[in-house]
Structure 1
Amino acid sequence: MTYPFDQPGHTLRASLGKQLRRLALSAAVSTALVSPMVTAQADDYAEVNRLVRAGQLSEALAKADQYLTSKPRDPQMRFLKGVIQTESGKTTEAIATFSKLTGDFPELPEPYNNLAVLYAGQSQFDKARAALEMAIRTNPSYATAHENLGDVYAKLASQAYSKALQLDAGNAAVAPKLSLIRNLFAADAKGVRPAASAPEPAVAAAVTAPAVAPAATPAVVKPAPATATETNRGEEDAVEEAVRAWAKAWSSKNMSGYLGAYSTSFTPPAGQSRSEWETDRKARIVPRARIGVDISNLNITVNGNRATARFRQAYSSDTLNVTSRKTLDMVKTGNRWLIVRESTGS
């Protein structure tokens, strides 16, 4: 079970060649809006968010601190506070906030990610690496942390190659490697996305078959075969039904239905065996007093017997309310669409 605070389109970058992606403020606020049980909290999150967007960082921080006076363990507001401190240039305070959050809620990968970005901004790449490895250990499907870890490894490699050249300038094998990594950073920096929200991915329009001149009417009119577009739409509907059934089984803690939504070819993350993964999922789901999994902005693409479902997942339980972007890769087995791979993050 993961509890990400991020949303698609909200990406900020750190000083590591402007590479690392940090989770932005508005995502943490929006997670509270998914549950009617946390209306009061949602108002507080929204107000903090409004103040930040208005550039009133001091007021936003004061509002967050006021809220935390009565709810000092609230993970979402504490995450917000860390983001505000980062935006305000209070790096030391932000590191302390995210560090404490990882200690109190070690199951949350996002604070580790933001902590890594702050460390990278100080060129403390070993600490950044360790924080990202913890994020991935907590959620092996966390795509943002994997990407950031790759960038940190590349930066560490760049430093090592530079040191090698200093010690042995005549080593002809090192210079091309160093140049390759530097070019990689330079190319990626040109494509840095701003922090502004990106639009949700649009559902591809169905391709209409070209018109065909009508043939002479036969004596017995037979129904026309289904077009490729109609067949595709039918499969998209079947995939959507499977995804929503998976979410419903998760919400009701129906472990038979939930685990049955995964194909026998599903490969658990982090090298887990299927039995270990199922045991882990049961331990994270069954003890919850309540669980709600809501799906929105569902975008489905079908290619033969394979499909990809991308959507925004709003998770709520007795302990937490969060949202994230989720991707399910699915395969058709018999008449059922089953999950073969899942990933979280942008």
Structure 2
Amino acid sequence: MPFARLSLPRFLQLAAAAALLAASAAQAADYGDITSLLKAGQPAQAQVLVEQRLAATPKDPQLIFLRGVAQSESKQAKAAIETFNELIRDYPELPEPYNNLAVLYAQDNQLDKARVALEMAVRSNPRYATAQENLGDIYARLAAQAYHQALRLNASAGDGTQRKLALIQELFDTPGGAGAAPAKSSEAPAAAPATTAAAAGAAPAPAPASTAEHGSAAAAQPGAPAPDSQAVAKAIEAWAQAWSERDVPRFLGSYASDFVPESPLSRQAWEERKRTQIRNKSHIDVRLSDLQIALRGRQAVAQFHQAYQGDALQLQTRKELALVQQAGTWKIARESILR
């Protein structure tokens, strides 16, 4: 997508709509009132309504997100940055706040900060296409700046550098090339269908070996799966149940010894963050459905729909777990979000 300037308000309005997907009907109506004001170009009135709702539920992530939207549209960039950073501190698993934060940084020409924020967004959800495209735009802008600097430092750098710079400027079709803000708006993060094995970085999967419907934790349907698939389903059931019960040792014990988190954190830092996230919640409910398991000898790949609720935070995601057998027990070796 070209660097053609898209106004920050439109970008953030679409991102705000995305934040409503996991809300109840009553909550969605409340959030909808605020979103309607934003779409009508009334951010000041929207912000008043947000603050009124936050007085009753100060930790509601959707309301905090909408506060950032209203602040952005009211040209309160500094306040909006603080709001999105607050949301990131409390809910680092959400990619949208990183994405919106990057737009604010990019509009202030803080491209390195924008790059870091977008890299965190795609690490949180590698399938977040909006953040991936915005990240590509930032990389291109940084490249254009570097080529400009090379030509300033060495006027005889040659036609090669000038051609590269011209290609970037032509690609984005904007006078001055690197001067405009990222244009891609956030899209509603609907739960995606199961990706192909190639897209997920795995070998092609055979037909699903089991399907299960879950209450507060996973539970295999009786009779259908083979014994090994039942063992995998039980391992996932134990993991989801430990999470719902906020049993940190049992939850972390569900992961393999060589598990490496997708985030840039080390295993130790990731475990510490999980401990903090789980213990800081007064209530957690994890519900899984549409469980599909593909066996490959001593390895298995499971895909399912996950409905997570932790206090005010509600998330609907499609998730994939790769499991391996260690000491006769199925453990999680890889975890990724497919939405």
Aligned amino acid, residue 156 of structure 1:
L
The correspondence for 1:113, drawn from 99, 103, 106, is 99
Counterpart-to-counterpart distance in 1, 2:331 and 2:302 = 11
The correspondence for 1:331, drawn from 307, 323, 331, is 323
Q: Using the TM superposition, give the Cα deviation of residue 256 of structure 1 relative to its aligned residue in structure 2, in angstroms.
A: 3.5
5+ long unaligned stretches in structure 2? 174-182, 197-205, 212-224
Give the conservation status (yes or no) of the 8 Å contact 1:327–1:344.
yes
Counterpart-to-counterpart distance in 2, 1:17 and 1:243 = 46
State whether structure 2 residue 311 is matched by structure 1 residue 311: no
Partner in structure 2 of residue 340 of structure 1: 333
Partner in structure 2 of residue 29 of structure 1: 20
Q: Within 5 Å, which residues of 2 pair with 1:226-305?
A: 229=207, 231=209, 234=225, 241-269=234-262, 272-295=265-288, 298=290, 300=292, 302=294, 304=296, 305=299
Counterpart-to-counterpart distance in 2, 1:198 and 1:279 = 28
Counterpart-to-counterpart distance in 2, 1:344 and 1:204 = 10
Give the conservation status (yes or no) of the 8 Å contact 2:319–2:336.
yes
State whether structure 2 residue 134 is matched by structure 1 residue 141: no
Question: SS state of the match for residue 30, structure 1?
Answer: coil
What per-residue deviation string (whole Å, max 9, x for no partner) do you get for residues 2-27 of structure 1? xxxxxxxxxxx995888x99772233
Q: Using the TM superposition, give the Cα deviation of residue 330 of structure 1 relative to its aligned residue in structure 2, in angstroms.
A: 0.5
Q: Using the TM superposition, give the Cα deviation of residue 115 of structure 1 relative to its aligned residue in structure 2, in angstroms.
A: 1.6
Give the conservation status (yes or no) of the 8 Å contact 2:194–2:318.
no
Give the conservation status (yes or no) of the 8 Å contact 2:209–2:293.
no
State whether structure 2 residue 155 is matched by structure 1 residue 161: no
Aligned amino acid, residue 277 of structure 1:
W
Question: SS state of the match for residue 255, structure 2?
Answer: coil
Counterpart-to-counterpart distance in 1, 2:125 and 2:208 = 35
State the identity %.
32
Counterpart-to-counterpart distance in 1, 2:248 and 2:167 = 48
Partner in structure 1 of residue 218 of structure 2: none
State whether structure 2 residue 117 is matched by structure 1 residue 128: no
- TM-score (normalised: structure 2): 0.63
Give the conservation status (yes or no) of the 8 Å contact 1:301–1:307.
yes
Aligned amino acid, residue 22 of structure 2:
T
Counterpart-to-counterpart distance in 1, 2:322 and 2:232 = 8
Counterpart-to-counterpart distance in 1, 2:59 and 2:157 = 54
Give the conservation status (yes or no) of the 8 Å contact 1:99–1:111.
no
What per-residue deviation string (whole Å, max 9, x for no partner) do you get for residues 92-138 of structure 1? 225523423424763334434312112224543234235457x56xx
CA RMSD of aligned residues (A): 4.5
Q: Using the TM superposition, give the Cα deviation of residue 263 of structure 1 relative to its aligned residue in structure 2, in angstroms.
A: 1.7
Cα gap change, 1:260 to 1:328, in 2 (>3 Å): farther
Counterpart-to-counterpart distance in 2, 1:270 and 1:201 = 20
Q: Using the TM superposition, give the Cα deviation of residue 141 of structure 1 relative to its aligned residue in structure 2, in angstroms.
A: 3.4
Question: SS state of the match for residue 320, structure 2?
Answer: strand
State whether structure 2 residue 85 is matched by structure 1 residue 102: yes
Based on CA coordinates, which of the two structures has the bigger radius of gyration? 1
Question: SS state of the match for residue 120, structure 1?
Answer: helix
Aligned amino acid, residue 301 of structure 2:
A
Q: Using the TM superposition, give the Cα deviation of residue 266 of structure 1 relative to its aligned residue in structure 2, in angstroms.
A: 0.7
Aligned length: 290
Q: Within 5 Å, which residues of 2 pair with 1:59-208?
A: 60-61=46-47, 63-68=49-54, 74-84=60-70, 86=72, 89-90=73-74, 92-93=75-76, 95-103=78-86, 106-109=89-92, 110-129=96-115, 131-132=117-118, 135=120, 141-143=124-126, 144=128, 147=132, 148-149=134-135, 151-172=137-158, 173-175=160-162, 177-178=164-165, 197=188, 200-202=191-193
Cα gap change, 1:343 to 1:94, in 2 (>3 Å): farther
Cα gap change, 1:245 to 1:99, in 2 (>3 Å): same
